[in-house]
Amino acid sequence: MKQGRTLENLGVELQRQRKARQDFVADTRQLTFFTEDGTSRLTFSTGEKLLEFRVNPLAHQQISARLGIPLKYYQRMQMEAPALLDENVNNWLQQAPERRMLRVMDGNVRAFLSDRYRRLDNLELCAAVLPIIHEMKGASIESCEVTESHLYLKVINKRMKAEISVGDAVQARFVISNSEVGLGHLTVEPLIYRLICKNGMICKDFTQKRRHVGRQIESEDTAYELYSDETLAQDDKAFFMKVQDTVRCAADEAKFMLTVGRMWEAMQIPLEHQPMQEVELLADRFSLTENECGDIFRQLFLTGDSTRYGLLNAVTAASQNAVDYERATELERIGGAILALPVPKAFPMATMQNITPIRKELAMA
């Protein structure tokens, strides 16, 4: 499992981001988009002053999608005809008016979102869930990171273990993730941690999600900056209480053992093709890079495990070599997607008698 920041460093960065962030709501007819020296900017007036911010890559994608400009064409205009891009964007900002939320940090528009977008920010999430994790006996944060698009907290429960085979033990974990920029829900996902190689696999089943959708913000004639208010704080308090309940239930023994059962099944399912061909098919299905394919094939070769279990472990092992934390987490999810593939009809269903459990220690206060 790829390591990110220490929890202390994460807290420092989230505090910094809190001070640096700004949120605005504006009618698109008040926005002006222009490109200069290869950098695009958005300007608008709050009535008191004219503000100007750079547009980051994600915000470009969101503007492209919202205005109905095909992304490949949008990116071609960026590279070859920036004046044409400006003309296109400004035309559709005027012709299809609506109110949008602009999330800004460090002088960049980092997200171009609906005015109904609910701001469930990372610092508040940590304040809500860290005390709950601290209360859970045997639980600790094994890895954490904040990227440009997500916050991740990966939590281990050392008291919930099982053996897939003799000497191959796994522990129950879960991942809490959140996006402040519109890339998905606030999510709690089960994660299985394999002790022998320290790899993590994020399970597709039993994922719980909370949507970033709130009430439409009251209309204003001019663009204005959003601040937290008492009503929003009360709404968020109720929401995060539900998130706390979700986290408390994340490490569920019954669900953990069901996943362990599927892992035992995967050990019995031989790969249908030669390892190289299996990796090529995997690359087509999940858009793997050439380097990732090489890492996965190397792991398969080193272990000599030509089963579905060997394949998913090769993918999660490759995650440790990923270019960044975001991609490493995605590879851990791909490992879980391989586990979730249908069981061949000829294969007998596993039973819990086939699994050697390590007795779960009950935490007593």
Q: Each residue of 127-143: pLDDT tens digit?
A: 999 999 988 888 889 89
User: Which residues, 6+ apart, have CB-to-CB distance to 242 below 8 Å?
Assistant: 210
Domain borders along the chain are 21-114, 122-251, 255-354
Specify the pLDDT at position 6.
93
Mean pLDDT of 241-250: 81
**Structure confidence at residue 362 (pLDDT):** 36
d(CA 238, CA 242): 7
User: What is the reported pTM?
Assistant: 0.84
pLDDT of the residue at 298: 93
Three-class SS of residue 199? Answer: strand
Q: For residue 343, what pLDDT is reported? A: 79
Q: Is 147 helix (H, G, I), strand (E, B) or coil?
A: coil
pLDDT in tens, 268-310: 999 988 999 999 999 999 999 999 999 999 999 999 999 999 9
What integer pLDDT is reported at residue 360 of this predicted model? 46
Distance, CA of 50 to CA of 358 (rounded, Å): 64
Question: Which residues, listed in sequence order, are joined to residue 53 by a DSSP beta bridge?
Answer: 42
Cβ contact 191:173 at 8 Å: yes
CA distance 183 to 174: 20
Question: CA–CA distance from 104 to each of 42, 50, 107, 204 (Å)?
Answer: 11, 15, 7, 32
Taking the C-alpha atoms of residue 292 and residue 294, their distance in angstroms, rounded to an integer, is 5
CB neighbour list of residue 352: distance below 8 Å, 6 or more residues apart: 257, 261
Confidence of residue 358 (pLDDT cuts 50, 70, 90): very low
Which whole number is the average pLDDT over 53-71? 96
Give pLDDT, residue 214: 54
Question: Model confidence at 233, in pLDDT bands (50, 70, 90)?
Answer: low
- The mean per-residue pLDDT over the stretch 33-60 comes to 93
- Give the pLDDT mean for 34-58: 93
CA distance 14 to 180: 12
Nearest alpha carbon to residue 1 among 123, 141, 115:
141
Cα distances (Å, whole numbers) of residue 202 to 65, 172, 207: 29, 11, 9
- Looking at residue 99, the DSSP 8-state letter turns out to be E
Which residue has better confidence, 145 or 96? Answer: 145
Q: What is the pLDDT of residue 284?
A: 95
Local structure of 140: helix, strand or coil: strand
Contact 37, 83 (CB under 8 A): no
Could you tell me what percent of the chain has a pLDDT over 90?
55
Query: Taking all residues of the chain, what is their mean pLDDT, rounded to a whole number?
Result: 86
pLDDT level of residue 218 (50, 70, 90 thresholds): low
List, for residues 83-128, the tens digit of each pLDDT value: 999 999 999 999 989 999 999 999 999 999 998 888 888 998 999 9
Q: Which pLDDT value is given to residue 352?
A: 42
